[in-house]
């Protein structure tokens, strides 16, 4: 019986630790993060309740593996609702075995955060932002993407 309580306690603790690793970010945090000139950033805005978002998650796994060891960072920005943060989101990440860094987008006023991310954003997800600040490159893609789309851009930027 003690062992059962111990295992349950460890499970709950590990869930809490996982949840604590999902940091809340606002638009300023995201844009500050992608300003590192030595890194190409692939930032995906998504949510667990968004079917097209979930369908394209494996693309970011592939991209992360493809560019392992290169100055490329995949950052997944969850736009899940406040009531899903952090526990529902952490459980989703665990089930999907996501290895990319995930942050939770804590802002809710689209009139404030959209212009900070990209003025062309209509507010729909999935959406992907590609930034290489050293080269002054920024591209925002609203809608689903393919590995080939992102790799074509990334490969070109990394070759410069």
- Using one digit for the tens of pLDDT, what is the confidence trace for 106-155? 999 999 999 999 999 999 999 999 999 999 999 999 999 999 999 999 99
State the CATH number of the domain containing residue 91.
Answer: 3.40.30.10
* Burial classification of residue 46, based on how many CB atoms lie within 10 Å of its CB (0-12 exposed, 13-18 middle, 19 or more buried): buried
Does residue 28 belong to any structural domain of this protein?
yes
Does residue 15 belong to any structural domain of this protein?
no
- The domain of 111 spans 22-159
Does residue 16 belong to any structural domain of this protein?
no
Domain count, the chain: 1
**What is the four-CA torsion angle of 70, 132, 79, 104, rounded to 10 degrees?**
60
Stated pTM of the model: 0.86
Does residue 14 belong to any structural domain of this protein?
no
Does residue 12 belong to any structural domain of this protein?
no
Alpha helices in the chain (DSSP H): 2-20, 27-33, 51-66, 87-96, 110-117, 147-159
């Amino acid at each position: 019986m003690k062992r059962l309580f111990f295992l349950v306690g460890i499970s709950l603790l590990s869930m809490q630790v996982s949840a604590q690793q999902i940091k809340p970010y606002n638009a300023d945090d995201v844009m500050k993060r992608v300003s590192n000139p030595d890194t190409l950033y692939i930032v995906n805005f998504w949510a667990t309740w968004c079917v097209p978002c979930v369908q394209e998650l494996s693309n970011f796994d592939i991209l992360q593996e493809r560019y392992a060891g290169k100055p490329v960072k995949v950052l997944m920005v969850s736009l899940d609702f406040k009531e899903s943060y952090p526990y529902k989101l952490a459980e989703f990440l665990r089930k999907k075995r996501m290895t990319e860094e995930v942050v939770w987008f804590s802002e809710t006023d689209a009139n404030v955060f959209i212009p900070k991310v990209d003025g062309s954003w209509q507010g729909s997800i999935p959406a992907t932002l590609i930034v290489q600040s050293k080269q002054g490159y920024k591209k925002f893609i609203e809608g689903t993407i393919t590995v080939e789309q992102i790799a074509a851009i990334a490969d070109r930027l990394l070759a410069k």
